[in-house]
Amino acid sequence: MGGHALFDLTGKCGYVTGGGSGLGRAIAQGLAESGAAVVVSDINGEAAETVAAEIRAQGGRALALHTNVALQTDVDVLVQTTIEQLGRLDFAFNNAGILKIVRPEDLNEKDWRDELDIDLTGVFLCAQAAGRYMIAHGGGKIVNTASISGMVVNSGLTYSVAKAGVIQLTRVLALRWARHRVYVNCFSPGYIRTGMTAPHVARPEVEQEMVRQTPLRRLGEPRDLVGAALFLASAASDFVTGQNLVVDGGVTLA
């Protein structure tokens, strides 16, 4: 017995930034398994191609693209390539991000700007470019990756500020673009085991504390975000916009 038709993405096309690893890789693969054609976008072009090749090997449709989301020109190429190569842009997953843990008193201006450029400005540039196309072509689904770090204080200063900005950016764009049937939502992962978090989780005392703070008593895995991604990209969320879907194993309940 197949999955519910509301989650069927057959014939839908879009991109995933940061798709070469971690959450982005899992999301790109999940979208493809539900029938979507996907541009796997990443600043690491080789990683993006590896994921795209994995999708194609499973019978899906995917291509890879090197993208620095902090550059307007790269973002424009991403959207245009998706449209030209896949035929349309139905969904946009703005997922690329970086994480630096630096004490506020030691944070320098360059690190502050570099992280904001990727984690907040990059999300805005991608959402703006995707939104322009969707407004002109009858709508679409924009999904931004935020974090519980945008809701509670548990991480680096710049990362937390950027992710709080992503949540509010999502709300503002959702309100402005609702009349165009452009749905804008975000999701906030909790403690997820990825390449980005690996240097921190590698310390046993840090992992133990993360698990202790998580009522489900385990760290999340990238696959734990796939269901949320499919919901927000599909017809299943056609009456949902401006929302922050928290996927954190219960961390923010306390």
The pLDDT tens digits for 116-173 are 999 999 999 999 999 999 999 999 999 999 999 999 998 889 999 999 999 999 999 9
The whole-number pLDDT of residue 1 equals 39
pLDDT at 26 over 50: yes
Pairing type for strands 91-94 and 37-42 reads unpaired
The whole-number pLDDT of residue 2 equals 55
pLDDT at 254 over 90: no
pLDDT at 201 over 90: no
* Overall average pLDDT of the 12-24 stretch: 98
Q: Give one DSSP letter per residue of the chain, joined into a string.
A: ----GGG--TT-EEEEETTTSHHHHHHHHHHHHTT-EEEEEESSHHHHHHHHHHHHHTT-EEEEEE--TT-HHHHHHHHHHHHHHHS---EEEE---------GGG--HHHHHHHHIIIIIHHHHHHHHHHHHHHHTT-EEEEEE--GGGTSS-S-HHHHHHHHHHHHHHHHHHHHHGGGTEEEEEEEE-SB-STTTHHHHTSHHHHHHHHHH-TTSS-B-GGGGHHHHHHHHSGGGTT--S-EEEESTTGGG-
pTM score: 0.95
CATH of 5-244, one of 3.40.50.720, 3.40.50.200, 3.40.50.1820, 3.40.50.150: 3.40.50.720
Q: Which residues contact 198 (CB under 8 A, 6 or more apart)?
A: none
Active-site amino acid positions: 159
pLDDT at 252 over 90: yes
The whole-number pLDDT of residue 206 equals 87
The whole-number pLDDT of residue 60 equals 98
* Average model confidence (pLDDT) across the chain: 95
The whole-number pLDDT of residue 155 equals 81
* Overall average pLDDT of the 47-56 stretch: 98
- What is the C-alpha separation between 174 and 181, in angstroms, rounded? 9
* Overall average pLDDT of the 73-94 stretch: 98
The whole-number pLDDT of residue 194 equals 86
Pairing type for strands 91-94 and 244-247 reads unpaired
